[in-house]
Amino acid sequence: MALSNLKTKYMTRNDCYTAGRKITPKGIMVHSTATPGVMAADWFSRWNKSYKAGEINRQVCVHAFLDNKEIWQYLPWNHRGWHAGGKANDTHIGFEICEPGGFSYSKNQMVGYDVKKNEAYFRAAWENAVKLCVYLCREYGLTEKDIISHAEGNNKGIASNHSDVGHWFPKHGENMDTFRAAVKKALENVGEAKEGFEAGDIVEIKATARTYYPGGPIIPNWVKWNYHLITQDVFNGKPVIKGGKECVLLGKTILKSTMGEKAGIMTWVDKDNLEMVSAGVEVEPENESGNKYYRVQVGAFNDKKNAEALMARLKKAGFDAYMKYD
């Protein structure tokens, strides 16, 4: 599931980014900024700085900021962030919900916050937060149960002593339980609406995908630069399983710039590594009669070792290959 309002601009100057430490996300931590009126796009210039170089007074970086309009990703999801002040940095993706302007803070309390005036802003930001959590849950196999606030992280002993978002949500009749319920409902709706990939669909490979299928070749970065057309979703009338996952064949490349076609990577790819771009492009269907196929031969050798070496190279490059002795 793609997020239409998700924008990416990594804080490459931040020490958290340059450290390059990776995590396997096990949960999501929800924060709010406690900085009235500073929106998601504004945080790049504030935090894209180096603590080691003396450009900022603390080591801090979250994966994303969001407001009522946009979601800005500033750190790769699988990079270790500095947002929790505890062990959750090693396990959780963290994002900040920006707070509207027109009020101030005193002793960690909102002063002059107008609930009625800010209701529309809150609902839009809430919806973006739910959408982001649904996106991340689907990307990393998480559920609503894996989502906590900074304050809940503190209660669990994995985050520092902060009150967010418990100081803000209740003003609008919400809390982390109702937030998790909203994410759960959205996940269920996404599941009901999700359709299987099939021949004729235009897709893109997820940025988080590392191999074409479990145990398969590593996906080169250039493969992710364009869209792809699924030209085959079965073989001999049956699903194609590789690495225990159902795969489809990406037979043509679709240029993002012009949507024009060119030769494809001709590789079977795990469906879970794909995002839908456009469904239902007409392609020539697979011949399921079982009688005739067009085959491409890439070599013939007297020495079996040479044949095996070429077959190994083809498989490493992501192509299906078999050897036949005539």
Please give the Cα distance from 185 to 145 (Å, whole number).
Answer: 12
Domain shared by 254 and 315, yes or no: no
Domain count of the fold of the chain? 3
Tokens 């190279």 belong to 313
1 within some domain: no
Domain identity same for 84 and 231: no
**26 and 96 share a domain?**
yes
User: pLDDT of 53-64, one tens digit each?
Assistant: 999 998 899 999
Q: How far apart are the first and last CA of the chain?
A: 48
Written as tens digits, the pLDDT of the chain (326 aa) is: 456 788 888 899 999 999 989 999 999 999 999 999 999 999 999 999 999 999 999 889 999 999 999 999 999 898 999 999 999 999 999 999 999 999 999 988 999 999 999 999 999 999 999 999 998 998 888 999 999 999 999 999 999 999 999 999 999 999 999 999 999 999 887 654 444 688 888 889 999 999 999 999 999 999 999 889 999 998 888 889 998 889 999 999 988 777 678 899 999 999 999 987 765 543 344 444 444 444 555 555 455 665 666 666 656 655 556 666 55
Encode pLDDT of 259-314 as tens digits: 678 899 999 999 999 987 765 543 344 444 444 444 555 555 455 665 666 666 65
Which residue reads 């900024």 in tokens? 33
Non-local (6+) Cβ contacts of 264 within 8 A are 228, 229, 231, 250, 251, 252, 253
Q: Element (H or E) spanning 143, and its range?
A: none
Before 203, cis peptide (omega within 30)? no
Domain span at residue 55? 6-193
Q: Indicate if 140 and 240 belong to the same structural domain.
A: no
- Final residue in a domain of this structure, among 125, 158, 193: 193
Of the candidates 193, 224, 243, which is a domain's last residue? 193
Q: Which tokens is 94 given?
A: 């963290």
Q: Does residue 229 share a domain with residue 252?
A: yes
Of 143, 173, 193, which residue sits at a domain end? 193
Environment class of residue 12 by beta-carbon count within 10 Å: exposed (0-12), middle (13-18) or buried (19+)? exposed
| pLDDT at residue 132, rounded to an integer | 95
Tell me the CATH number at 11: 3.40.80.10
pTM exceeds 0.85, yes or no: no
Residues 30 and 128 occupy one common structural domain: yes
| Domain shared by 324 and 226, yes or no | no
Q: Reduced to 3 states, what is the DSSP secondary structure of residue 164?
A: coil
User: Within this chain, do residues 69 and 155 fall inside the same structural domain, yes or no?
Assistant: yes
| Residues 30/129, Cβ–Cβ less than 8 Å | yes
Same domain, 312 and 252: no
Pair (57, 170) in one structural domain: yes
Give buried/exposed letters for 213-239 (b at 16+ CB in 10 A, else e): beebeebeeebeebbbbbbbbbbeeee
138, 208: one domain = no
Q: Mark whether 41 and 106 lie in a shared domain.
A: yes
Token pair, residue 2, equals 């793609």
